[in-house]
């Protein structure tokens, strides 16, 4: 170890932040004594569990090593929570699909506050399924088809802007694109001034989302909370204008405004705002990080054909949502193991996508493996079951459109060495894949 000093500081910070988290957490989990047949695995040290092990190496290595040692189901203790990790398609399906009512979504309070507590992904039951239907119908294939010309225009203007730059941070450029597509799906054509205000304030929220949550003036987290309040005001203004004009639009905002349940209840403005921010959040970094990986794989192997398979294989290889979290609402028994009430469960999507049992030579980028459909529940880049991604068709369409225009009208080269992966928190190639883009008409390397 040549740089022990910074590592030590990180360890100390992590130690204290974990202690703080543990003590502030209201829902402290009762110790479960002598429950037979907990899954195998190590709970690490008191308080901090295995948090240091997880953060001191690539998180994927941590999960993989554990799976090799204990099998597909194992327990651990991270970030103040006892936790069962699930690396098999069957176990993941049990939690997310067939027994989803026994496991509720769980997020740190600081993140819930930043997005908005009424956003659908924090909920289950009736409220969740009502909202989910609204989001799904505004993102149906039929609705997306009508957006295609506008998405194409955005893709072309995005690529043109890169061709005028010396070096482009691909990830940042893709974030601008996926944000614009998100705005389009939510508001339809939005007036320029509102769009600019949303964009600027949202980028402050975005920076605060992954910062340490201390709400003191001057901190990134505090600034983000203030910007989050301004986003609410902007969305209220947009809603007022929409109501004045009495427009019955079929975009997501239109669906939210027209909603009425059996009892005649409608959605409040704060509920609408939380869900709009929620969808923007779910749509931006995911799609941008997937697109950045696609460009990297295409660059590494320019012979690749067939855009759809390239997209699927990129989603498998990069597994950008590498796992998710739920919390057991009662003691649950699965395959002879007990998952105690209050414990977290983590379906490990990346481990499933990189298991040679389901994907031959998983470390190789091979789009042709998708000539045959993967086995059920083994390919889950968009999750599975009750909370699976309602934006998956939109994501695929926008990726396809951008890639199509890129490979038919442009050329690009990656600038600088590309070895490491950064986490934002989704994995992204080193420095966001800096690249140079230029226009070169009529290339047909990739078929659709
Ligand atoms: C490549 C891009 C994307 C990937 C890989 C992705 C992946 C995912 C995954 C894995 C989940 C489930 C999380 C869980 O079970 O805990 C999810 C949920 C969600 N995604 Fe996506 N997503 C993408 C793009 C989008 C887009 C473009 C939108 C919207 C326009 C969107 C909206 C949502 C929403 C609203 C949820 C929550 C659904 C619920 O809780 O019922 N996503 N996404
Ligand atoms: C944020 O929103 C407010 C309106 O609430 C607007 O006046 C301001 O220009 C926006 N931008 C920034 C960077 O705060």
CA 423 to chain centre: 12
Give how far Cα 432 sits from Cα of 196, 293, 295, 346, 405, Å.
24, 10, 11, 27, 20
Please list, in sequence order, all residues whose beta carbon lies within 8 angstroms of the beta carbon of residue 133, skipping any fewer than 6 positions away.
none
Mean pLDDT of 88-96: 98
pTM for this prediction: 0.89
Q: Is 334 helix (H, G, I), strand (E, B) or coil?
A: strand
pLDDT at residue 436 above 90?
A: yes
Q: Measuring from each residue's beta carbon to the nearest atom of ligand 1, which residues come in under 6 Å?
A: 120-121, 132, 135, 139, 182, 185, 279, 282-283, 286-287, 290, 320-321, 324, 381-383, 387-391, 394-395
Higher pLDDT, 26 or 284: 284
**Nearest CA, atom 10, ligand 2:** 197
Can you give the pLDDT at residue 27?
46
83 labelled binding-site residue: no
Q: Which structural domain, as residue segments, surrounds residue 341?
A: 1-117+328-353
Residue 447 pLDDT = 55
Q: Is residue 197 part of a domain?
A: no
**How many whole angstroms separate alpha carbon 375 and alpha carbon 327?**
27
Residue 10's pLDDT is 54
Pocket of ligand 1, candidates 320, 391, 428: which has the most ligand atoms within 8 Å of its Cβ, to mutate? 391
Judge whether 11 lies within some domain.
yes
> Would the pLDDT of 302 be above 80?
no
Proportion of the chain above pLDDT 90, given as a percent: 72
pLDDT (0 to 100) of residue 305: 73
Q: Give the residue-averaged pLDDT of 72-94.
A: 93
Structural domain includes residue 423: no
From atom 6 of ligand 2, which residue's Cα is the shortest distance away?
197
Distance in angstroms (rounded) separating the CA atoms of residues 347 and 93: 9
**Alpha-carbon distance 141 to 7, whole Å?**
48
Tell me what percent of the residues of the chain surpass a pLDDT of 70: 87
List all residues 6 or more positions away from 9 whose beta carbon is below 8 Å from its beta carbon.
none
- pLDDT at position 156 over 70: yes
Of 11-25, 315-329, 380-394, the range with the lowest mean pLDDT is 11-25
Is 443 inside a domain boundary? no
Token couple for 360: 């031959």
- Which ligand 1 atom is at minimum distance from the Cα of 325? 16
- For residue 296, the model assigns a pLDDT of 94
Query: Ligand 2 within 6 A of 201 CB?
Result: yes
Which one, of 137, 149, 151, lies nearest residue 249 by Cα? 137
Nearest C-alpha neighbor of 93 from the set 361, 404, 446, 352: 352
User: Pairing mode, if any, of strands 410-414 and 434-439?
Assistant: antiparallel
Per-residue pLDDT tens over the stretch 31-57: 555 556 999 998 876 666 676 666 656
* Residue (of 242, 151, 261) closest to 191 by Cα position: 242
Residue of minimum CA distance from atom 39 in ligand 1: 387
**Distance from the alpha carbon of residue 376 to the mean position of ligand 1, in angstroms:** 19
Number of domains in the chain: 1
What is the overall mean pLDDT for the chain?
89
The closest alpha carbon to 346, from 17, 62, 124, belongs to 62
Residue 182 pLDDT more than 60?
Answer: yes
> Range with the lowest mean pLDDT among 11-25, 87-101, 119-133, 391-405?
11-25
User: Which of 7-11, 25-29, 57-61, 79-83 has the least mean pLDDT?
Assistant: 25-29
Tokens of 71: 């099998």
């Amino acid at each position: 170890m040549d740089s022990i000093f910074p590592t030590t500081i990180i360890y100390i910070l992590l130690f204290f932040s974990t202690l703080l988290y543990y003590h502030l957490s209201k829902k402290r989990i009762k110790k479960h004594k002598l429950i037979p047949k907990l899954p195998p695995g190590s709970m690490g040290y008191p308080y901090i569990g295995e948090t240091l092990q997880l953060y001191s190496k690539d998180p994927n290595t941590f999960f993989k090593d554990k799976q090799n040692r204990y099998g597909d189901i194992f327990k651990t203790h991270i970030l103040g929570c006892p936790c069962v990790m699930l690396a098999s398609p069957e176990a993941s399906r049990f939690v997310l699909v067939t027994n989803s009512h026994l496991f509720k979504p769980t997020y740190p309070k600081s993140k819930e506050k930043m997005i908005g507590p009424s956003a659908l992904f924090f909920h289950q039951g009736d409220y969740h399924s009502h909202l989910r239907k609204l989001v799904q119908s505004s993102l149906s294939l039929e609705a997306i088809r009508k957006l295609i010309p506008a998405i194409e225009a955005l893709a072309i203007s995005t690529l043109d802007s890169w061709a005028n730059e010396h070096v482009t941070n691909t990830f940042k450029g893709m974030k601008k694109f996926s944000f614009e597509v998100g705005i389009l799906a939510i508001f339809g054509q939005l007036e320029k001034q509102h769009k600019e205000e949303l964009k600027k304030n949202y980028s402050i929220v975005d920076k605060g989302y992954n910062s340490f949550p201390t709400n003191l003036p001057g901190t990134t987290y505090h600034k983000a909370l203030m910007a989050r309040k301004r986003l609410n005001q902007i969305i209220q203004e947009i809603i007022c204008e929409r109501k004045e004009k009495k427009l019955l639009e079929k975009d997501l905002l239109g669906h939210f405004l027209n909603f009425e349940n059996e009892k005649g209840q409608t959605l409040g403005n704060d509920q609408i705002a939380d869900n709009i921010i929620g969808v923007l959040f779910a749509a931006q970094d995911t799609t941008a990080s997937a697109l950045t990986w696609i460009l990297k794989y295409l660059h590494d192997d320019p012979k690749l054909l067939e855009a759809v398979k390239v997209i699927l294989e990129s989603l498998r290889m990069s597994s950008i949502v590498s796992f998710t979290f739920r919390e057991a609402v009662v003691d649950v028994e699965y395959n002879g193991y007990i998952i105690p009430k209050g414990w977290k469960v983590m379906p490990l999507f990346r481990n499933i996508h990189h298991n040679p049992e389901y994907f031959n030579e998983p470390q190789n980028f091979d789009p042709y493996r998708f000539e045959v459909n993967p086995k059920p529940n083994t390919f889950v880049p968009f999750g599975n079951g009750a909370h699976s991604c309602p934006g998956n068709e939109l994501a695929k369409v926008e990726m396809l459109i951008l890639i199509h225009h890129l490979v038919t009208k442009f050329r690009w080269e990656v600038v600088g060495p590309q070895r490491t992966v950064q986490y934002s928190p989704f994995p992204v190639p080193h420095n966001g894949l800096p690249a140079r883009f230029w226009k070169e008409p009529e290339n047909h390397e990739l078929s659709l």
